[in-house]
Structures are given as C-alpha cells and as structure tokens.
C-alpha cells in the first residue's frame, strides 16, 4: 500500500524544497497531500511561484498519514508561530511516524523536541539554534527522521524519504528515470 504523506505549505516556501521531494515521492508511488492553512488554497513561494494546495490543513486528519514533509525557506518562520504547528509535528514524532525537514524546517523538529539525541542537518543559517546540526552532511536519516541542508540537496532528500517510505526498489527506478 502506498505511503500517505502530509506536506505543509505556506507563503514563503522554498519552491525547490517543496516540488522536488513531492515529485519524487509521487513518482515512487506515495500519495502526497499538500495542505495549507492559508486562505484561498494557494501560496506564493520565496521566488514568487504560485503553488496550489491539494487541501486545507483544517480539513485534514493527521492520523491518516504515515509521514510529514516540511519544506524550508522563509515559510518556516511563519510555521513556527502558527498555532498548533509544533504540536502537529510532535504528534507525528510521538507516533513514530516519518518526519522530514529540509533547510530551515529542522527548526520545527527542534521546537517539537524531535531532534534530541538524533543526528540531523539543516541550512547553515540555523546552526546558531541547531548547534548539534552536522553541517557537512547533505542528508541524514536517523530512524524515522530525515533532514537535509537546503535547495541544493532536494533531490537527495526526496530520494532518501522515498526509500524510507516506498522502498529501495521504487527509489532505484525513480533515480534511473530522473538520471540521478
């Protein structure tokens, strides 16, 4: 059965960090629902690209999902202030579900208490807050947590997440198809 992934998006999302892993996950067979809390169902990314959400977060039952995908960019600062976001992230972690964050998004994993005792990486601008982040690592998978440094690592991040959710064989086919 295909893994169900909830992907959170708000204005200011780093487009590459959203579209690349979502694309790879869908190619690997996962069902990805991009959900927003914003009005209108559309967000504007960091570089001005408009992205339409699949659903509103208010209409989503998080327990129906196997994994949570958190893209980075300036959107992370917004998400850190959004009521209920940290508890949503924590609920996935507490349930032992896969939680993935790229760029600045590991800050949300930190806020939810999920990084304690776990290897992780993140964008270098977060290292004052994420002092244990492994800055040289491009992608780190530590149990159900997947973290990555930024836009330049989005393909590797997507493939690592897909391998965890859909298996190595599915990822091998995707990697060959996209010539990664």
The yes-or-no answer on residue 103 being catalytic is yes
Catalytic hit among 103, 140, 163, 165: 103
Q: Over the stretch 104-140, which tens digit does the pLDDT of each residue have? A: 999 999 999 999 999 999 999 999 999 999 999 999 9
Cα–Cα distance for residue pair 57/149, rounded to 1 Å? 26
Class of domain 4-171: alpha beta
**Would you kindly state where each structural domain of the chain is located, as residue ranges?**
4-171
**Torsion sign (Cα): 8, 9, 12, 13:** positive
Q: Over the stretch 135-172, which tens digit does the pLDDT of each residue have? A: 999 999 999 999 999 999 999 999 999 999 999 999 99
pTM attached to this predicted model: 0.97
Q: What is the pLDDT of residue 1?
A: 83
Cα–Cα distance for residue pair 20/11, rounded to 1 Å? 17
Q: Are 13 and 75 in contact (CB under 8 A)?
A: yes
- Sheet containing 4-8, strands listed edge to edge, beginning at the edge strand earlier in sequence: 55-56, 31-36, 4-8, 67-70, 98-102, 145-148, 139-142
């Amino acid at each position: 059965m295909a893994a169900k992934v909830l992907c959170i998006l708000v204005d200011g999302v780093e487009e590459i960090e959203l579209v690349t892993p979502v694309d790879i996950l869908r190619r690997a067979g996962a069902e990805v629902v991009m959900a927003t809390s914003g009005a209108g169902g559309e967000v504007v990314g960091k570089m001005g690209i408009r992205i339409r959400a699949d659903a509103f977060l208010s209409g989503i039952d998080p327990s129906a999902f196997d994994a949570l995908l958190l893209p980075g960019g300036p959107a992370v600062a917004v998400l850190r202030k959004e009521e209920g976001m940290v508890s949503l992230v924590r609920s996935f972690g507490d349930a032992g579900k896969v939680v993935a964050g790229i760029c600045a998004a590991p800050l949300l994993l930190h806020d939810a208490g999920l990084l304690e005792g776990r290897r992780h990486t993140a964008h270098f601008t977060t290292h004052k807050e994420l002092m244990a982040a492994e800055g040289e690592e491009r992608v780190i998978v530590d149990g159900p947590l997947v973290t990555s440094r930024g836009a330049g690592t989005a393909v590797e991040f997507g493939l690592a997440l897909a391998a965890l959710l859909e298996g190595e064989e599915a990822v091998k086919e995707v990697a060959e198809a996209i010539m990664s």
